[in-house]
Amino acid sequence: MKLSLLASIIAIASSVSAAPLAENVVDLGGRAIVDFYDPRSRGGSLLDQSAGLGEPLNVIISGKSSPEVLTKDGFNDFAEAIGFSEECFGIHKGDPQLSDLGDGHGPLGEMEVLRENFGNPVFGTCFETLEGGNHLRVWQQNGPDANSGALFLAVSQEEDLGESHTISPDGYNVGRDKFVAAAVGTHRYLFTTYTTTAEKVPGLLNPGTDGINHGISQDGVVILLTVTVKSIF
């Protein structure tokens, strides 16, 4: 999907207000069947903790998604289907960023860091490391106080290695929009298809630069994605 279509996606999503808290239906594993719990209501934040400030958690994978995608391996497979892979040769430099999702775990390091692979799942993230591109960090809301299973993503467009991977101008909005545009619709990886819908969730982030790392303004938009997994067999 081309980026020029994202405005249409957001416009449609803007008319839908996702419910962060739903009825407390519980699955067999004890996980509440809700889109997510608002981290702020339990002392958490929609900003991660990096360099004394934070990067916005601007995409949420709904806890109502297929359970397969709400695991590290399952999310990685979904990410592969939409053009993201693990870091170049599995090498990660830098300390993990922390996030408190208000689920009783307190601040935890990210579950995964993935980078745009430019259509090459083997070496593409090496190119992203050198030249810059889209990347994401992911945390899961699965603690004893708020076990939704939802995945919270900090998505951003970053500069090249020569710029020390700093966030691009408007990189938080651009990174989110590119990720959503890539995700919405139906995609396939190996023997699985992923069908993804998007909704805009209002009021979770304040627009502007207050508390935002690098002083880069963001528009306050958080997109909720619901991913349905289906085996082709």
pLDDT digits (tens, 9 = 90+) for 52-88: 799 999 999 999 999 999 999 999 999 999 999 987 7
Distance of CA 99 to the CA centre of its chain: 13
**Predicted pLDDT at 165:** 61
**Predicted pLDDT at 127:** 67
d(CA 160, CA 178): 17
Tokens of 34: 């809700």
| pLDDT < 70 regions, the chain | 1-30, 89-95, 122, 124-125, 127-129, 161-165
- Residue position matching structure tokens 């400030």: 53
d(CA 53, CA 39): 17
Largest alpha-carbon pair distance within the chain?
49
- Residue position matching structure tokens 């993990």: 96
- Tell me how crowded residue 233 is: count the other CB atoms within 10 A of its CB: 5
Tokens of 147: 């076990």
**Predicted pLDDT at 126:** 79
Closest to 226 (Cα-Cα) out of 157, 151, 117, 174: 151
Tokens of 172: 């938080």
Q: Which residues pair with 189 in a beta bridge?
A: 192
**Predicted pLDDT at 22:** 41
**Predicted pLDDT at 166:** 79
Indicate if the alpha-carbon torsion angle 150, 197, 115, 69 is positive or negative.
positive
Q: Reduced to 3 states, what is the DSSP secondary structure of residue 152?
A: strand
Closest to 150 (Cα-Cα) out of 34, 57, 228, 1: 34
> Residue-wise over 72-86: b if at least 16 C-beta within 10 A, else e?
eebbbbbbbbbbbbb
